[in-house]
Chains A and B, each alone.
Chain A
Amino acid sequence: MSAPDYRAPELLANALGIKREFGADARVVAGGTDLILRMRDKVLSPKVLIDLRRISLASISRHAGEMHLGAYVTLSQMLASAEVRVAFPALVEACRSFAGPPIRNRATLGGNIVNASPAADLVPPLIAYDASVVLASLSASRVLPLMDFFTGPGKTVMEPHEVLTEVRLPLPPPRTAASFTKLGQRRSMAIAIVNLSARLTLDRAGQMSEARIVLGSVAPTAMRARAAEAILTGNEPSDEQFEQAANMAVAEISPISDVRSGKDYRKRVTGVLVRRALMAARHKLAEVGRND
């Protein structure tokens, strides 16, 4: 195997041109924290590496009702951003639980998504926040709900000639709160056994007009526990409701065993974590209510 070519174009169009020419043989290298290991293990052997660092894809900005995060935004940038922290606290909680400082300084939002690991920490909160991704190619660019992006471990609907340029997050509606929980084997440098996000929106009457439960590490891709969500929707938040939803979420999954955990344990703690995440979201709602 010969080493790939490395290109760091200044214009997105050039990057997309390379993608058009090489397709799957050209890979974007962002923080490299996934890609470099895969290349060393010879799981991936691209012919060209495209580094987009000269193209400005690392900004965080607000646009009418949405926050736009460039694909090259690092975990550390999100942690440091007051705007992200205020609008998307569950995303920041996920960033905080992620690896350790030196990895967080390199690892990017886009890399975490495109890598499509079932255990990716950012994905459950992003889905909970209704994120969509912008996929660009030389001919067109499209915007896609993140929920529809993944097709399996390491697999996505992204075409070989596309790159991910941006993640868009609609600002949550009022009376909404989301949380993130992760169970790992240590407090830092841990890939999740289970990671998940819960998000609740209350109507004026205090009932849950919308509920999201997004589970990571328990299926080939991150998934929504829709039946569990349905239990909650239209009801008032309560411990019993949360308990039922948690049990339902457990019934909805059939995780696998791996070096980190057996499948039965995964299933059980998913229930516990769902309940806790819902309680944390309710707690935050109460705090927001007090501040109003």
Chain B
Amino acid sequence: MTDMDIRLTVNGRLQHAKAGVMRTLLTVLREDFGLTGTKDGCSSGDCGACVVVMNGQVVNSCMVLAAQADGSQVTTVEGLASNGELHPLQRAFGGTWAFQCGFCTPGMLVSCHALLSSNDNPSREEVLTAIAGNFCRCTGYQGVVNAVQQAAAELRSANAEAVLQHD
């Protein structure tokens, strides 16, 4: 077996890794790039702790071979804040107690962030559907719904302001 050269753009930065075929995107992110924000809760696609965005879509990084991810654009929890400034969703998660132990949070945040990029005013049912693959053992998902809706409202009013300023 020969290791393959993998190139990924992770959170906007081009990264290289050498990987045997059975290594997953999750292990490359965590072990080679030191991005330990993304968690391993099951290694079998069942919990969503490892969710990242790959080429614009949420995926379970434990179920993607690094080789399959070669050439793709990946966003992890570490990439949600920009220039040290938290995304409104991240701020809302803290304020609404959307987590307790926080182990599900990176995957949950990535799923919710992806939802907000296609839906600026999600209903409770839409949030729950978006996180239907993200398991949380500590909470009852209530805080997550509140956080997403709160962040959505904040983003909408920020957008409205931006539009006004443009006019």
Residues of A near any B CB (own CB < 8 A): 2-6, 8, 29, 31-33, 36-37, 39-40, 49, 51, 53, 76, 99-103, 105-106, 187-189
Contact = CB atoms under 8 A, between A and B. Distances in A.
A32 B64 CA distance: 7
19 contacts: A3-B20, A3-B21, A5-B2, A6-B67, A8-B67, A32-B63, A32-B64, A32-B68, A36-B65, A40-B43, A99-B45, A100-B134, A101-B129, A101-B130, A102-B51, A103-B133, A188-B129, A188-B132, A189-B135
B68 A101 contact: no
B68 A105 contact: no
B38 to A, nearest CB: 12
Interface residues of B, number: 31
A99 B68 contact: no
Contacts of A51: 67-68
A2 B133 contact: no
Interface string B50-79: 010000011110011101101000000000
Contact of A106 (B64, B70, B130, B131): B64
B4 interface: yes
B17 to A, nearest CB: 14
B132 A189 contact: yes
A100 B68 contact: no
A100 B63 contact: no
Contact of A100 (B43, B48, B70): B48
Interface in B81-125: 111
B111 A33 contact: no
Interface of B: 1-2, 4, 20-22, 24, 43-46, 48, 51, 57-60, 63-65, 67-68, 70, 111, 129-135
A111 B148 CA distance: 33
Given A29-B68, A36-B65, A101 B111 contact: yes
* Majority secondary structure of chain B interface residues (helix, strand, loop or mixed): loop
Nearest to B50: A102
Contact of B132 (A6, A39, A40, A187): A187
Contacts of A32: 63-65, 68
B133 A101 contact: yes
A49 B21 CA distance: 9
A3, A6, A39, A49 — most chain B CB neighbours (10 Å)? A6
Contacts of B2: 5
B87 to A, nearest CB: 19
Contact of B63 (A2, A33, A101, A189): A33
Quick one: which of B1, B43, B59 has the most chain A CB within 10 A? B59
B47 to A, nearest CB: 9
A189 B133 contact: yes
B25 to A, nearest CB: 10
Most buried by B among A8, A102, A106, A187: A102
